[in-house]
Amino acid sequence: MVFFGNSGHEIGSLGAQHTLTVSARRLGLTPQSVAVWVSLGASIAVFESFDVVSGEGEGFHVSSSGYSSEALGELVATPMQLAGYEPVLCSEEAACGGELSAVIDEGYDAFGWWGTFAKFHTVADVASSTSPGLLENAATALAAALRAVILGKEPSEPPATG
Protein backbone atom coordinates (compact mmCIF):
# COMPACT_ATOMS: atom_id res chain seq x y z
CA MET A 1 0.00 0.00 0.00
CA VAL A 2 1.40 3.39 -0.97
CA PHE A 3 0.08 6.79 0.07
CA PHE A 4 0.72 9.97 -1.90
CA GLY A 5 -0.19 13.50 -0.94
CA ASN A 6 -0.05 16.18 -3.57
CA SER A 7 -1.24 19.68 -4.28
CA GLY A 8 -1.36 21.91 -7.31
CA HIS A 9 -4.86 21.09 -8.48
CA GLU A 10 -5.36 24.78 -9.14
CA ILE A 11 -2.64 24.78 -11.77
CA GLY A 12 -3.46 21.89 -14.04
CA SER A 13 -3.14 19.16 -11.41
CA LEU A 14 0.61 19.80 -11.34
CA GLY A 15 1.07 17.80 -8.12
CA ALA A 16 -0.81 14.79 -9.46
CA GLN A 17 1.18 14.91 -12.67
CA HIS A 18 4.42 14.92 -10.69
CA THR A 19 3.19 12.06 -8.51
CA LEU A 20 2.31 10.01 -11.59
CA THR A 21 5.32 10.80 -13.75
CA VAL A 22 8.07 10.92 -11.14
CA SER A 23 7.14 9.44 -7.75
CA ALA A 24 5.03 6.49 -8.93
CA ARG A 25 7.53 5.57 -11.61
CA ARG A 26 10.42 5.85 -9.14
CA LEU A 27 8.61 3.25 -7.00
CA GLY A 28 8.02 1.06 -10.06
CA LEU A 29 4.26 1.53 -10.00
CA THR A 30 2.37 0.95 -13.23
CA PRO A 31 -1.33 0.64 -14.03
CA GLN A 32 -0.79 -3.12 -14.23
CA SER A 33 0.88 -3.34 -10.80
CA VAL A 34 -1.71 -1.30 -8.88
CA ALA A 35 -5.00 -2.97 -7.94
CA VAL A 36 -6.83 0.32 -7.46
CA TRP A 37 -5.88 3.96 -6.99
CA VAL A 38 -8.05 6.02 -4.64
CA SER A 39 -8.15 9.80 -4.96
CA LEU A 40 -9.49 11.70 -1.93
CA GLY A 41 -10.37 15.15 -3.18
CA ALA A 42 -10.46 18.06 -0.75
CA SER A 43 -14.24 18.52 -0.99
CA ILE A 44 -15.00 14.97 0.13
CA ALA A 45 -16.52 16.07 3.47
CA VAL A 46 -17.57 19.71 3.69
CA PHE A 47 -20.75 21.59 4.53
CA GLU A 48 -22.69 23.17 1.71
CA SER A 49 -23.14 26.34 3.75
CA PHE A 50 -22.06 27.64 7.13
CA ASP A 51 -23.77 30.06 9.52
CA VAL A 52 -21.09 32.36 10.92
CA VAL A 53 -23.31 33.56 13.79
CA SER A 54 -24.35 30.15 15.13
CA GLY A 55 -21.17 28.37 14.08
CA GLU A 56 -23.25 25.57 12.57
CA GLY A 57 -22.72 23.91 9.25
CA GLU A 58 -25.72 23.14 7.08
CA GLY A 59 -26.24 20.58 4.37
CA PHE A 60 -23.80 18.07 3.02
CA HIS A 61 -21.87 19.37 0.03
CA VAL A 62 -22.06 16.44 -2.34
CA SER A 63 -18.66 16.38 -3.90
CA SER A 64 -18.37 14.83 -7.32
CA SER A 65 -17.28 11.22 -7.33
CA GLY A 66 -16.56 8.58 -9.90
CA TYR A 67 -14.79 5.45 -10.99
CA SER A 68 -12.75 4.41 -14.00
CA SER A 69 -14.44 1.22 -15.19
CA GLU A 70 -17.79 -0.53 -15.08
CA ALA A 71 -16.21 -3.47 -13.25
CA LEU A 72 -14.87 -1.19 -10.52
CA GLY A 73 -18.19 0.68 -10.42
CA GLU A 74 -20.00 -2.56 -9.63
CA LEU A 75 -17.93 -2.70 -6.43
CA VAL A 76 -17.66 0.91 -5.28
CA ALA A 77 -20.81 2.68 -6.51
CA THR A 78 -23.19 1.28 -3.89
CA PRO A 79 -21.06 2.10 -0.83
CA MET A 80 -20.55 5.62 -2.18
CA GLN A 81 -24.28 6.03 -2.89
CA LEU A 82 -25.25 4.75 0.56
CA ALA A 83 -23.13 7.55 2.03
CA GLY A 84 -24.87 10.20 -0.09
CA TYR A 85 -22.43 10.50 -2.98
CA GLU A 86 -23.48 10.20 -6.61
CA PRO A 87 -20.60 8.46 -8.40
CA VAL A 88 -20.39 8.31 -12.18
CA LEU A 89 -18.46 6.21 -14.65
CA CYS A 90 -15.67 8.51 -15.79
CA SER A 91 -15.83 8.65 -19.57
CA GLU A 92 -15.93 11.08 -22.45
CA GLU A 93 -19.63 11.58 -21.70
CA ALA A 94 -19.11 12.14 -17.96
CA ALA A 95 -15.62 13.45 -17.45
CA CYS A 96 -14.15 13.22 -13.99
CA GLY A 97 -12.19 16.09 -12.57
CA GLY A 98 -9.33 16.89 -10.27
CA GLU A 99 -6.48 14.54 -9.58
CA LEU A 100 -8.75 11.56 -10.29
CA SER A 101 -8.87 12.44 -13.97
CA ALA A 102 -5.06 12.58 -14.14
CA VAL A 103 -4.80 9.14 -12.54
CA ILE A 104 -7.38 7.63 -14.91
CA ASP A 105 -5.70 9.29 -17.91
CA GLU A 106 -2.48 7.43 -16.94
CA GLY A 107 -4.38 4.13 -17.21
CA TYR A 108 -4.92 3.28 -13.54
CA ASP A 109 -8.16 1.65 -12.36
CA ALA A 110 -9.29 4.26 -9.87
CA PHE A 111 -12.13 5.77 -7.93
CA GLY A 112 -12.47 8.85 -5.82
CA TRP A 113 -13.80 12.31 -5.21
CA TRP A 114 -13.18 15.77 -6.62
CA GLY A 115 -15.05 19.03 -6.79
CA THR A 116 -15.22 22.66 -6.00
CA PHE A 117 -16.19 24.26 -2.72
CA ALA A 118 -17.09 27.94 -2.44
CA LYS A 119 -14.68 28.49 0.46
CA PHE A 120 -11.60 26.89 -1.10
CA HIS A 121 -8.55 29.13 -0.73
CA THR A 122 -10.42 31.88 1.10
CA VAL A 123 -10.21 33.12 4.68
CA ALA A 124 -13.46 31.18 5.28
CA ASP A 125 -11.77 27.85 4.43
CA VAL A 126 -11.40 26.77 8.05
CA ALA A 127 -11.89 23.64 10.15
CA SER A 128 -15.56 24.47 10.75
CA SER A 129 -16.20 23.79 7.05
CA THR A 130 -16.43 20.15 8.07
CA SER A 131 -17.38 18.15 11.13
CA PRO A 132 -16.67 14.80 12.74
CA GLY A 133 -20.01 13.56 11.36
CA LEU A 134 -19.18 14.52 7.78
CA LEU A 135 -15.71 13.03 8.07
CA GLU A 136 -17.18 9.83 9.52
CA ASN A 137 -19.60 9.64 6.58
CA ALA A 138 -16.74 9.98 4.10
CA ALA A 139 -14.62 7.45 5.99
CA THR A 140 -17.54 5.00 6.09
CA ALA A 141 -18.01 5.28 2.32
CA LEU A 142 -14.29 4.87 1.71
CA ALA A 143 -13.98 1.87 4.05
CA ALA A 144 -16.99 0.14 2.48
CA ALA A 145 -15.73 0.80 -1.05
CA LEU A 146 -12.24 -0.50 -0.21
CA ARG A 147 -13.73 -3.53 1.53
CA ALA A 148 -15.78 -4.25 -1.61
CA VAL A 149 -12.66 -3.99 -3.81
CA ILE A 150 -10.62 -6.23 -1.51
CA LEU A 151 -13.37 -8.85 -1.16
CA GLY A 152 -14.50 -8.50 -4.76
CA LYS A 153 -18.15 -8.09 -3.86
CA GLU A 154 -20.50 -5.17 -3.36
CA PRO A 155 -21.84 -4.60 0.17
CA SER A 156 -25.59 -4.13 0.61
CA GLU A 157 -25.22 -1.60 3.40
CA PRO A 158 -22.47 0.53 4.87
CA PRO A 159 -20.50 -0.87 7.79
CA ALA A 160 -21.66 0.01 11.28
CA THR A 161 -19.87 2.98 12.83
CA GLY A 162 -19.41 4.14 16.32
Q: Give the pLDDT means over successive 10-residue stretches in the chain (162 positions).
A: 73 79 89 89 73 54 80 91 87 79 89 80 81 88 90 59 46
Written as one letter, the residue type at 58 is E
pLDDT for position 50: 52
Domain extent listing, the chain: 35-151
Q: Measuring CA to CA, how many Å separate 124 from each of 51, 79, 112, 135?
A: 11, 31, 25, 19
Whole-structure pTM value: 0.79
> Phi and psi of 108, rounded to 5°?
-80, 145
> Phi and psi of 138, rounded to 5°?
-65, -45
pLDDT for position 56: 57
